[in-house]
Structure 1
Amino acid sequence: MINKEALIKHIKNNEERQIVMKTLNKVDSVLKSYRVCITDFYDPYQISLCIPVLNQIRDINYLVTGGYETAERRVIIIYPEYMEIEEEDYPIGAIKISGKFMKDSLNHRDFLGAVLGLGLKREKIGDILVGDGQANIIAYKELCDYILLNLEKVSKYKVNIESISFNDLMKVEKHFKIIYGTVSSLRLDSILSAGFGESRNTISKLIHNNRVKVNFKPVNQPSYVLHEGDLISFKGRGRIILDQIGDKTKKDRYKVIIKRIV
């Protein structure tokens, strides 16, 4: 048996402890039953919480995958040390959804909503790639089969669904709106105000209401100081990247370049 409490004693945040504890429960199953176990799909910050803990445990191996190299949402596959895992053994798969809809008439939210409308949980679904009149969805293999059999429409459009290999996943390029501006400070509320064109007062209230993540870590302090390259996710609004921090102006304001993901 592993000493779970000793392994997570350094983690003070309750939600973060729960994530790592769920992963350690999977480790327990591997050690007891000598079988392969898979976590939920985690974001990069959740992955970063689990990996240092897993590295302290003997008699297991693990791999992290989301189906393709730059996947954002990924699972941790945990298995006995003596085993070898090949890609065809991964317990996740991919499906392609296509139909008679215009290239830009459906977005990520439409496809996610349709899939969750089947009664599936978000943590069992990986990345959703949308573009070129189709969507590719990564999920647990058994859920890929379930979606294939049960999903008939996305929004008002009838759709066709087929299983695909990870090699056949579409290549999606992110598009950005470039915002040039000046800010009084590099505080979270200041950068979000510049990036989304809303007042700092409004932004601050939403930050306090747990609507914001920085590099996937929840942050509820408007005074949190950002750094160049930080990714800020704003629930209900979208995402921005603090791409560049320039010199100060004569009025002692920072010149910044912000990329807003569109």
Structure 2
Amino acid sequence: MIDKEKLIKHIKNDEERKIVMKVLNKMESSLKGYTIKASDFYDPYQISLCESIFRNFDDINYKIFGGYEKAERKIMIFYPEYMELQKEDCPICGIRIYGKFSKEDISHRDFLGAILNLGLKREKIGDILIDDGQANVIIFKELYDYIQINLEKISKYKVNVELIPFSNMIQVQEETKIINTTVASLRIDSILSAGFKESRSSIGRNIQYDKVKVNFKPINQSSYMLKEGDLISVRGKGRIILDQIENKTKKDRYRVIIKRMI
């Protein structure tokens, strides 16, 4: 019997505790039943929380997989130590949603919203990659028939759905805007203000209302100090990367290069 409460006692955030506990239950079920079990889709920070615990178990194997090499949202597949995973053991698949639209017509939010409006939960959906006339979405195999039958429109555009192999996933290059600027501080509110061209007070409200994450970890302190390479996301606004921190100016300001995803 796994002492799950002991394993997660260092995690203070309630939502994070629920996620790790849920995944621990999957692992325990795999151990007890000598079967393959898979977690829901989680972001890199959530996966790292779980993985820091699972490394301590020698009697079970696990694989982290999101459908393609650069996947952001991934699942954890647990299986007995004596077993070798086969291709058919993977519980997720890729689907192609296609119609007469360009990638400027429909956003990631439109696709996700339409899928969730079918009554599905976010943790059952992996990455969504959008290109002209199509989007590729990673889902659990068990959801394919339901989505194919019920997903008729994205925004105002009629769409069809079909299965695709992971090898045929579209390769989307994320476009970025380079911002060369100076900031008084490496505080998160200062960097976000420069990256999104908004006042620090406006940015501060987003931080206060739990809309900001750094490397997928929720941050609610405006004084949080960033470091080079940090990925910062603001719900409803987008993402930036603090790409480079250069030498200070004569006025003691930091020269920085920020990449904003567009």
> Is TM more than 0.5 here?
yes
Q: CA-to-partner distance for each residue in 1:37-88, whole Å, 9 max, x for gaps?
A: 1111010000111112111123211000000011000000111212211233
Q: Indicate if the aligned counterparts of 1:61 and 1:80 stay in contact, CA closer than 8 A.
A: yes
Q: Which runs of 5+ in 1 are unaligned?
A: none
Aligned counterpart, 2:77: 77
Aligned counterpart, 2:15: 15
Aligned counterpart, 1:5: 5
Using the TM superposition, give the Cα deviation of residue 3 of structure 1 relative to its aligned residue in structure 2, in angstroms.
1.3
Aligned counterpart, 2:213: 213
Using the TM superposition, give the Cα deviation of residue 238 of structure 1 relative to its aligned residue in structure 2, in angstroms.
0.5
Q: SS of 1:40's equivalent?
A: coil
Using the TM superposition, give the Cα deviation of residue 12 of structure 1 relative to its aligned residue in structure 2, in angstroms.
2.6
Aligned counterpart, 2:125: 125
Q: Indicate if the aligned counterparts of 1:104 and 1:133 stay in contact, CA closer than 8 A.
A: no
Q: SS of 1:58's equivalent?
A: coil
Aligned counterpart, 1:178: 178
In the alignment, the residues of structure 2 paired with residue 116 and residue 14 of structure 1 have an alpha-carbon distance, to the nearest angstrom, of 24
Q: TM-score, normalised by structure 2?
A: 0.97
In the alignment, the residues of structure 1 paired with residue 120 and residue 55 of structure 2 have an alpha-carbon distance, to the nearest angstrom, of 31
In the alignment, the residues of structure 1 paired with residue 11 and residue 122 of structure 2 have an alpha-carbon distance, to the nearest angstrom, of 25
* Residue identity opposite 1:36 in structure 2: I
In the alignment, the residues of structure 1 paired with residue 49 and residue 214 of structure 2 have an alpha-carbon distance, to the nearest angstrom, of 15
Using the TM superposition, give the Cα deviation of residue 153 of structure 1 relative to its aligned residue in structure 2, in angstroms.
1.0
* Residue identity opposite 1:113 in structure 2: G
* Residue identity opposite 1:6 in structure 2: K
- Once the two structures are superposed, the pairs formed by residues 172-251 of structure 1 within 5 Å of their partners are 172-251=172-251
* Residue identity opposite 1:142 in structure 2: E
Aligned-residue sequence identity (percent) comes to: 65
* 1:60 counterpart = 2:76: no
Aligned counterpart, 2:144: 144
Q: SS of 1:145's equivalent?
A: helix
Using the TM superposition, give the Cα deviation of residue 103 of structure 1 relative to its aligned residue in structure 2, in angstroms.
4.1
Q: SS of 1:32's equivalent?
A: helix
Q: CA-to-partner distance for each residue in 1:126-154, whole Å, 9 max, x for gaps?
A: 00000132100001111122111211111
* Residue identity opposite 1:58 in structure 2: D
Q: Choose 86-95 or 97-106, whichever is displaced more.
A: 97-106
In the alignment, the residues of structure 1 paired with residue 156 and residue 68 of structure 2 have an alpha-carbon distance, to the nearest angstrom, of 30
Q: Which runs of 5+ in 2 are unaligned?
A: none
Aligned counterpart, 1:99: 99
Q: SS of 2:192's equivalent?
A: helix
In the alignment, the residues of structure 2 paired with residue 173 and residue 256 of structure 1 have an alpha-carbon distance, to the nearest angstrom, of 23
In the alignment, the residues of structure 2 paired with residue 191 and residue 103 of structure 1 have an alpha-carbon distance, to the nearest angstrom, of 29
Q: Choose 243-252 or 1-10, whichever is displaced more.
A: 1-10
Q: TM-score, normalised by structure 1?
A: 0.97
* Residue identity opposite 2:217 in structure 1: K
Q: Indicate if the aligned counterparts of 1:94 and 1:144 stay in contact, CA closer than 8 A.
A: no
Number of residue pairs matched by the alignment:
262
In the alignment, the residues of structure 1 paired with residue 193 and residue 69 of structure 2 have an alpha-carbon distance, to the nearest angstrom, of 33
> Superposition RMSD on alpha carbons, in Å?
1.1
In the alignment, the residues of structure 1 paired with residue 41 and residue 57 of structure 2 have an alpha-carbon distance, to the nearest angstrom, of 21
Q: Choose 7-16 or 123-132, whichever is displaced more.
A: 7-16
